[in-house]
A and B are shown apart, each in its own frame.
Chain A
């Protein structure tokens, strides 16, 4: 299972990566694999204020609809508009072109408190 060490993770299988002042958010390889073929992604609108742990996006696979939770609090500044036409990017490139949205964080400590790659791997092991 691919778990890049250059970013942080949540127990609910989002990843969060620092990019300048922003936090880019997506779902992990484990999450996309569990969901199966992604057919629709609903991303949050730019400008929306979100709390860490709040359901802010929805990923629909053939089988089911799943919430995506904000790993950190702050303001959504951009969402991945390419997913409207190519939701399958979430399956094909979950850590790259399949990113979901970017947050301007309000509390940097929240990012630091997220899981590192090693701890996230343990979470996956518990669930597999």
Chain B
């Protein structure tokens, strides 16, 4: 069956910039414009601009909006004041993760939930099923918003000339509505690269012009390839790789997200033992890739779920799930790279931290 791929409002911009378009979760998006490495380094050293309009946006409104979100997410949205955002996850009732998400309290009684593109339909069904018991109204606003991410140490300086809001007062995980280059938008000081930066929500009709202005101001267009290597250096999981319906978040470095409160599926998450844990691994030689087996002392010990050569460290880095007894920082393991066992070490993530 031929399925028509979806295009974001920035589609024509990507073509004009020479983006190499690929299918990502049913969306036609650029994997790179010039070079993954160059785009990656631009984000680490100056500022890069990503089109992330494919991500899903749900609004949760109503008298029980907070109560509902406290039940369906692992982090605690009760801690969010208006204008603040938090990383979170949707648990299932089998000790796994439906999706990892960002929750923004945009107004009194209104929450915005940003979800992974590949999971929009699944999350929507899941949330609607659980919402039946709550006095809430859910809206899928995914097609009403274009989303871009301006990331890197020069993100603030690049964006500042286009708005009257003093961006130096916008703290990490803060979000606010504002005017950028004369059009209404919302920004959040969040991202998926490990760098400082902003995510910018704008109307689909306004977004391409805003994109062009930011590129003219020096932001380097960056594709999905760099987005993946950047998040990997930062140690961030990608749903479908590190996190799945079957992975227990309690056994990951993201366990901090689980707050002590009643939530959907809590027993399943708490009852399971962590026979395997999600870890970071680094290799002196060899480039780990998704699916490569991990060994410890020659015995099977797990597998790589994401891997690449770090453009910053020039070494092989991986996220993966390994046996609990070799999951401690400093444990020696081996990654099988094309039939050869290459020494690897379990290391703390992030692999790369912002310089400043």
Contact = CB atoms under 8 A, between A and B. Distances in A.
Contacts of A58: 338
A15 B289 CA distance: 27
Interface string A53-77: 0000010111111000000000000
A36 B35 contact: yes
Interface in B283-325: 287, 289, 308-309, 311, 314
A39 interface: yes
B188 interface: no
B24 to A, nearest CB: 13
A36 B32 contact: yes
Interface residues of A, number: 11
B203 to A, nearest CB: 33
A30 to B, nearest CB: 13
A18 to B, nearest CB: 30
A37 B287 contact: no
A61 B31 CA distance: 13
Given A36-B225, A40-B309, A60-B309, A65 B287 contact: yes
B131 interface: no
Interface residues of B, number: 16
A37 B289 contact: no
Interface string B313-341: 01000000000000000000000001000
A63 B36 contact: yes
B119 interface: no
Nearest to A40: B287
Which of A37, A40, A63 has the most chain B CB atoms inside 10 A of its CB?
A: A37
B37 interface: yes
Contacts of A39: 37, 287, 309, 314
A123 to B, nearest CB: 19
B289 A65 contact: yes
A37 B37 contact: yes
B75 interface: no
Contacts of A61: 36
B338 A62 contact: no
B88 interface: no
Given A60-B309, A62-B309, A63-B225, A37 B338 contact: no
A64 B289 contact: yes
A107 B35 CA distance: 39
Which of B40, B229, B309 has the most chain A CB atoms inside 10 A of its CB?
A: B309
Nearest to B286: A40
B229 A62 contact: yes
Interface string B156-194: 000000000000000000000000000000000000000
A60 B35 contact: no
Nearest to A63: B225
B20 to A, nearest CB: 8
Contacts of B229: 62
Contacts of B311: 62
A37 B33 CA distance: 12
Nearest to B35: A37
A36 B35 CA distance: 6
Contacts of A60: 287, 309
Which of B37, B38, B40, B289 has the most chain A CB atoms inside 10 A of its CB?
A: B37
Contact of A63 (B31, B38, B314, B338): B31
B57 to A, nearest CB: 28
Interface in A25-58: 36-37, 39-40, 58
A62 B309 CA distance: 6
Contacts of A63: 31, 36, 225, 308
Contacts of B338: 58, 65
Interface of A: 36-37, 39-40, 58, 60-65
18 contacts: A36-B31, A36-B225, A37-B35, A37-B36, A37-B38, A39-B37, A39-B309, A40-B309, A58-B338, A60-B287, A60-B309, A62-B36, A62-B37, A62-B40, A62-B308, A63-B31, A65-B289, A65-B338
Given A36-B36, A58-B338, A61-B36, 16 more contacts: A36-B31, A36-B35, A37-B37, A39-B309, A39-B314, A40-B287, A60-B287, A60-B309, A62-B225, A62-B229, A62-B308, A62-B309, A63-B31, A63-B308, A64-B289, A65-B338
4 A-B pairs with the lowest CB-CB distances in the bound complex, closest first: A37-B37, A62-B36, A39-B309, A60-B287
